[in-house]
Amino acid sequence: MIVLGIESSCDETAAAVVCDGHEVRSSVVASQVAVHHPYGGVVPELASRKHIEAIVPVVNGAVAKAGITADQIDGVAVTQGPGLVGSLLVGFSFAKGFAYAHKIPWIGVDHLEGHIDSVFLEPNPPPFPFVALLVSGGHTSIYHVTSHQDFHPLGQTRDDAAGEAYDKVAKMLGLGYPGGEVIDRLAAQGDPEKFFFTRPFLDKEQFDFSFSGIKTAVSRHVQTHPKTYQEDQTHIAAGFQAAVVEVLSYKIIHAARKKGCRHLAVVGGVAANRGLRTIVTRDAADAGITVHIPSLDLCGDNAAMVAAVGYHRLKAGERAGMDEDVYSRVRLRPAIDG
């Protein structure tokens, strides 16, 4: 089954053609980073307008790159939420129109499920059940994943997402937006022990996170060292990254142990972080757990992951109606007892 995936929840307009839920025939991502960079964050109104400009060429590009024609597509999967409503509506409305015009089924997909399913686009995907750490600019959560349809949230951040903390720290250090990649690069050149930032473990038995404290600690350091913080950028980045990565790695490995899973996944934009990839892989190997992290181009927002989720839904006979609407808030919330 050939599925066209469409993603426009934030500041990336993306389309992809995926065969049978795992074979990526094409994946096109039009980034709006240059548009939002001067503002230090995503400006929702600008994002919607850019999606409108990009959606047709991006979809046409994905279809052409896949070496197919539009009438060979069997179904459409599109991000329904969570995200910016104005942005979501562009991809969502386009998908509805495309499916209607081509008389094919379509389905709305949760963006977070998309990130989790990105591991199925790689060779040797994890067997069920496994635990997944979703770390992105908007979310930081842990799930127990028991099937393509069943994601049980175990914990989430109580304040900032990990990617958000990276972006805010980058801003404090004058490194621009988005900041995750830059901090990651600087951290590799710094001494992680020169400045120690307290690890926000919260309860070590639970899977909730908190990153606002460490962000404030970096801010305090910058304020109290106005003359030296610029030249210490690499060490501050290294100290910050060491603290964040230690907590993320500890919690996902602990979740795997607690749930008796031999496999874990790390997904989302921050899964591109070299420090995180190295530490999780090392510590999980010590615990006899296999780690699955998508290749870099599948960590950030993309439409191949949306098509992967959509494939399973469409195959199971699920169909969306034309009265469906987008949603802005997270639906995958932790259950009371995890």
For ligand KG4, the binding residues (CB under 6 A) are: 10, 136-138, 163, 166-167, 178-181, 184, 268-270, 272-273, 300-301
Residue 171 or 257: which CB sits closer to ligand KG4? 171
Q: Quick one: how many helices (H) and strands (E) in the chain?
A: 10, 10
Assign 3-state DSSP to the chain and report helix, strand, coil percentages, each to 5: 45, 20, 35
The two structure tokens encoding residue 18: 């995926």
Using CB under 5 A, list all residues that contact Zn ion.
Answer: 136, 301
Q: How many CB atoms lie within 10 A of CB 56?
A: 12
> How many angstroms separate the Cα of 255 from the Cα of each of 83, 260, 287, 292?
27, 8, 12, 15
State the Rg of the chain over Cα.
20
For residue 330, the minimal CB distance to ligand KG4 (Å) is 11
Residue 75 or 114: which CB sits closer to ligand KG4? 114
| Residue 4 binding: pick among Zn ion, ligand KG4, none (C-beta 5-8 Å cut-off by kind) | none
For residue 179, the minimal CB distance to ligand KG4 (Å) is 5
What does the DSSP assignment read for 197-208? Answer: -----SSTTS--
d(Cα 305, Cα 98) in Å, to the nearest integer? 19
For residue 191, the minimal CB distance to ligand KG4 (Å) is 19
| Residue 179 binding: pick among ligand KG4, Zn ion, none (C-beta 5-8 Å cut-off by kind) | ligand KG4
Phi-psi region of 124 (alpha: psi -120 to 50; beta: other; left: phi over 0): left
Helix (H) or strand (E) holding 25: strand 23-31
Residues 6+ apart with CB under 8 A from 179: 166, 167, 168, 169, 170, 171, 173
| Residue 310 binding: pick among ligand KG4, Zn ion, none (C-beta 5-8 Å cut-off by kind) | none
Residue 151 or 166: which CB sits closer to ligand KG4? 166
Residue 104 or 237: which CB sits closer to ligand KG4? 237
For residue 10, the minimal CB distance to Zn ion (Å) is 7
The distance from CA 161 to its chain's CA centroid, rounded to whole angstroms, is 11
Residue 26 or 79: which CB sits closer to ligand KG4? 79
For residue 211, the minimal CB distance to ligand KG4 (Å) is 11
For residue 59, the minimal CB distance to Zn ion (Å) is 19
d(Cα 263, Cα 98) in Å, to the nearest integer? 38
Residue 105 or 114: which CB sits closer to ligand KG4? 114
For residue 133, the minimal CB distance to ligand KG4 (Å) is 12
The residue type at 104: I
d(Cα 67, Cα 89) in Å, to the nearest integer? 28
Antiparallel, parallel or unpaired: β 106-110 and 140-145: unpaired
| Residue 181 binding: pick among ligand KG4, Zn ion, none (C-beta 5-8 Å cut-off by kind) | ligand KG4
For residue 301, the minimal CB distance to ligand KG4 (Å) is 4
The two structure tokens encoding residue 291: 């780690």
| Residue 80 binding: pick among Zn ion, ligand KG4, none (C-beta 5-8 Å cut-off by kind) | none
Residue 41 or 334: which CB sits closer to ligand KG4? 41
| Residue 178 binding: pick among ligand KG4, Zn ion, none (C-beta 5-8 Å cut-off by kind) | ligand KG4
Residue 35 or 70: which CB sits closer to ligand KG4? 35
